[in-house]
Amino acid sequence: MRADYATNYDPQAVTAVDRYWSAHTVRTRPFATAAASLAFLDWRSAKYPLFHELMGLWGEHSRDVVLDYGCGPANDMTGFLVHGKAREVIGADVSTTALALARSRLGLHDSDRWRLVKVSDADPTIPLATGSIDHIYCQGVLHHVSDPAAILAEFRRVLRPGGTVSIMAYSRDSLWVHLYVAWQRQIVEGIDAGLAIERAFSRSTDGESCPISRAWRQADFTAMCEAAGFAADYRGGYFNQSELDLWRREGHRAIADPRLGSEQRDFLVSLRGDPPTYRGLLAGVAGVYWLRR
């Protein structure tokens, strides 16, 4: 098994982002068996409705080298190897804890088609050759980094011409922002009541001390991708089950509440269908973009 680390990584040059995610790695308990590892993927898909469909998990990649940027404990590296049959999967992360968990987990699946690299928020360089990657997968990462535009530029560099990128980045046009944060937390529970919605949102997602947590409007994130040289297609936002449940249970009360801001009410009133859509696209917090070089 290969577990290579980035040659450009300077352990002295770290940011608050590096420190936070090294200490707050998602799921720190190792899996005991390959079956348990795969069962967790099924559980995760059920917890986030339409995640699987919008992100295109895990597709057919038998001829492809896939980069999972921000791989964490190898959830989707496992999916790309076992279900997507990828020729090779490279996992990159800022957290040595996450990479150790990834190494342990991937070792359960009897495959040598993977390797790991250490990156840092302090340096956006990805230690891979130009044009060496066929598909990049980046789920829940760019909204936490110091310089997302620089990382997108690196994605374009390492991606081969015609290659694809699938990204999940938090969406401002979502139930999470306009219902859960603006109504449930700030009005009903009185949490962060005096804060601007952007700051209140950042404290609602990945821990109140998470140094960076952004939510982009579709046009703004698309423009950043296009500035990096990509053609970008927004496919809507998949849901955290809790935001969907809150909408179904309390959406009518939030709309009728005179304390709710006009931006939030206008957004909620405009939603259509179940699961709800905004301007024809799913209104979950997890905005999904597909890019092509």
The 10s digit of each residue's pLDDT in 142-190 is 999 999 999 999 999 999 999 999 999 999 999 999 999 999 999 999 9
CA 95 to CA 97: how far, in whole Å? 5
Amino acid 3: pLDDT:
45
For residues 78 and 109, the answer to whether their CB atoms sit within 8 Å is yes
Is residue 91 a part of any domain in this protein? yes
Q: Are 75 and 29 in contact (CB under 8 A)?
A: no
Q: How many domains does the chain have?
A: 1
| Poorest-pLDDT segment among 1-5, 122-126, 130-134, 243-247 | 1-5
Q: Is residue 21 part of a domain?
A: yes
pLDDT(45) > 90: no
User: Dihedral of the CA atoms 56, 60, 64, 69 (nearest 10)?
Assistant: 30
Domain extent for 136 = 16-170
Per-residue pLDDT, 83: 93
**Assigned domain for 95 exists:** yes
Kindly state whether residue 49 falls inside one of the protein's structural domains: yes
Residues 6+ apart with CB under 8 A from 72: 25, 26, 27, 93, 95, 98, 101, 102
d(CA 218, CA 82) in angstroms, rounded, equals 32
Q: Helices (DSSP H) in 83-228: which residue ranges?
A: 96-106, 148-158, 175, 197-202, 218-227
> Would residue 74 count as lying in a domain?
yes
Coil vs helix vs strand at 227: helix
pLDDT at 291: 98
8 A C-beta contact, residue 244 and residue 175:
yes
In a domain, 76, yes or no: yes
Of 43-57, 71-85, 174-188, 208-222, the range with the lowest mean pLDDT is 43-57
pLDDT of 25 reads: 79
The per-residue pLDDT for 1 is 40
- The mean pLDDT of 21-35, rounded to a whole number, is 85
CA–CA dist 179, 255 (Å, integer): 9
Provide the residue type at 147 as one letter: D
- Would residue 214 count as lying in a domain? no
Q: Give the model's confidence band at 9: pLDDT under 50 very low, under 70 low, under 90 confident, else very high.
A: low
HSE-CB for 226 with a 13 A CA cutoff = 10
Examine the pLDDT at 10 and tell me if it is beyond 80. no
What does the mean pLDDT of the chain come to?
A: 93
CATH code for the domain of 39: 3.40.50.150
Kindly report the length of the chain.
293
Total Cβ atoms within 10 A of residue 27: 14
Is 201 domain-assigned? Answer: no
Specify the amino acid at residue 160.
R
Task: Note the pLDDT of residue 49.
Answer: 85
**pLDDT reported for residue 47:** 85
pLDDT band at 81 (very low <50, low <70, confident <90, very high): very high
Statement: residue 60 has pLDDT above 50: yes
Q: What is the pLDDT averaged over residues 266-273? A: 98
